Structure 1
Amino acid sequence: MSRLVVGLGNPGSEYAHTRHNAGFLVVDLLGENLRASYWKDEAGAKTSQVRLGDYDVVLAKPETYMNVSGKAVSKLSDIYESAHDEVIIIHDDIDLPAGSVRVKNGGGHGGHNGLRSLTDALGTDGYVRVRVGVGRPPGRMDAADYVLEPLRGVALEELEAMVPTAAQAVIHILEHGVESAMQEFNAG
């Protein structure tokens, strides 16, 4: 059995530096930190197997658009025999202030279509989430336009600045459990 860590995002260079791809950025950093040497195409995702202490960990970035990513995650969960309630999902969250990171164990989708797809495909909303705060859109800007807007300058720097904290949250979950991670990362 492997622990499955999935970063949500959209494939393609046009989405690389958007708020919606926060999950991909975190998985990329985890791959660097855990020395992921080989990424392969598998079950509709890019995956890499790494070792963390006693755990085999599968890092994954679905190659489908986020709103239909549940199918790939469900397939990977079956392939690696990962219990659905132990899958760790990293995603952007407009309901959290920009730059904040929170850990959540289960819960609704909160209007996030990627989480809706996961819940439908996995048959549960009990998976672990690392929520990456990207803030609310300014004024009357549409939420979809906001999270898909290409970032530059300070906005991109702010997004990239929280990536190490989110990666630390994932490592903490794997090493110490979700309850400990919630106490560590949800304070303040």
Structure 2
Amino acid sequence: MKLITGLGNPGQKYDRTKHNTGFMALDNYLDKNNLTLNKDKFDGLWTKEKINGEDVIFLEPQTYMNDSGKSIAQVANFFKIDPKDILVIQDDMDMPIGKIRIRANGKSGGHNGIKSIMACLGTNNFNRLKIGIKHPENETVVSWVLTPFNADQQKLMDAAFTTSEDIIDDFISGKDAQYLMNRYN
């Protein structure tokens, strides 16, 4: 069984903001595959689907970014999902807008959602699909992450979301982190 989760903040106020990149990437995948998050439990919106013979749970925590681990750990514990079978889709300010990087483990990089997941799972050994949102140049980090992408930036993000579809499909099909890193980094 696999768990694929996008990180973001719930509510209209945060919809389409840079910090909701994980939600947007996951929503893009779900839309392309005619899937919907139709369950509200585990402090998140989720669905369980069978894709190419694999049970897959798609999750968007509704705990706000800084407590994302609470929802993810509930799902992982309930369904007995090993951390190596978890893929977290997150924004990353240390990369240019739309750049993608896969990581199999590692530190949080200062990302509070990742810190929460590490604390709640008790490990840093889970997969991450990082999508660059760039570091702000002339504004605060909070202001930057809580604003939408402009039209040019959105084009770069749309391309990243398309690539993310392939990454998610490869992850579901059992490709390991090393394969994903070699192919997409």
Is residue 2:170 matched to residue 1:149? no
Instruction: Work out whether residues 18 and 150 of structure 1, in 8 Å CA contact, stay in contact via their aligned partners in 2.
Output: yes
1:38 Cα deviation after fit: 5.5
1:28 — aligned with what?
Answer: 27
- Give the gaps of 5 or more residues in structure 2: none
Report the 3-state secondary structure (helix = DSSP H, G, I; strand = E; otherwise coil) of the residue aligned with 1:85: helix
1:57 — aligned with what?
Answer: 56
Report the 3-state secondary structure (helix = DSSP H, G, I; strand = E; otherwise coil) of the residue aligned with 2:109: coil
Which TM-score applies when normalising by structure 1? 0.91
Report the 3-state secondary structure (helix = DSSP H, G, I; strand = E; otherwise coil) of the residue aligned with 1:69: helix
Identity of aligned residues (%): 29
Distance 1:103 1:151 in 2: 22
2:137 — aligned with what?
Answer: 138
2:43 — aligned with what?
Answer: 44
- Provide closer, same or farther for how the CA distance between residues 157 and 13 of structure 1 changes in structure 2, counting only shifts above 3 A: farther
- Give the gaps of 5 or more residues in structure 1: none
- Provide closer, same or farther for how the CA distance between residues 138 and 38 of structure 1 changes in structure 2, counting only shifts above 3 A: closer
- Provide closer, same or farther for how the CA distance between residues 152 and 13 of structure 1 changes in structure 2, counting only shifts above 3 A: farther
Distance 2:125 2:5 in 1: 15
- Provide closer, same or farther for how the CA distance between residues 177 and 54 of structure 1 changes in structure 2, counting only shifts above 3 A: farther
Distance 1:29 1:172 in 2: 16
**Deviations 1:69-101, CA, capped at 9 Å, x for gaps:** 111100010122111232110000011111111
Is residue 2:100 matched to residue 1:101? yes
**Deviations 1:4-50, CA, capped at 9 Å, x for gaps:** 00000000111111111111011112212333255110100000112
1:3 — aligned with what?
Answer: 2
Distance 1:95 1:66 in 2: 18
1:92 — aligned with what?
Answer: 91
1:173 Cα deviation after fit: 2.0
Distance 1:6 1:114 in 2: 11
Distance 2:162 2:95 in 1: 17
Instruction: Work out whether residues 38 and 48 of structure 1, in 8 Å CA contact, stay in contact via their aligned partners in 2.
Output: yes
RMSD (Å) for aligned C-alpha atoms: 1.5
Distance 2:109 2:14 in 1: 22
1:177 Cα deviation after fit: 2.1
Distance 1:16 1:161 in 2: 19
1:9 corresponds to which letter in structure 2?
G
1:124 — aligned with what?
Answer: 123
Report the 3-state secondary structure (helix = DSSP H, G, I; strand = E; otherwise coil) of the residue aligned with 1:10: coil
Distance 1:38 1:95 in 2: 30
Instruction: Work out whether residues 49 and 59 of structure 1, in 8 Å CA contact, stay in contact via their aligned partners in 2.
Output: yes
1:150 Cα deviation after fit: 2.9
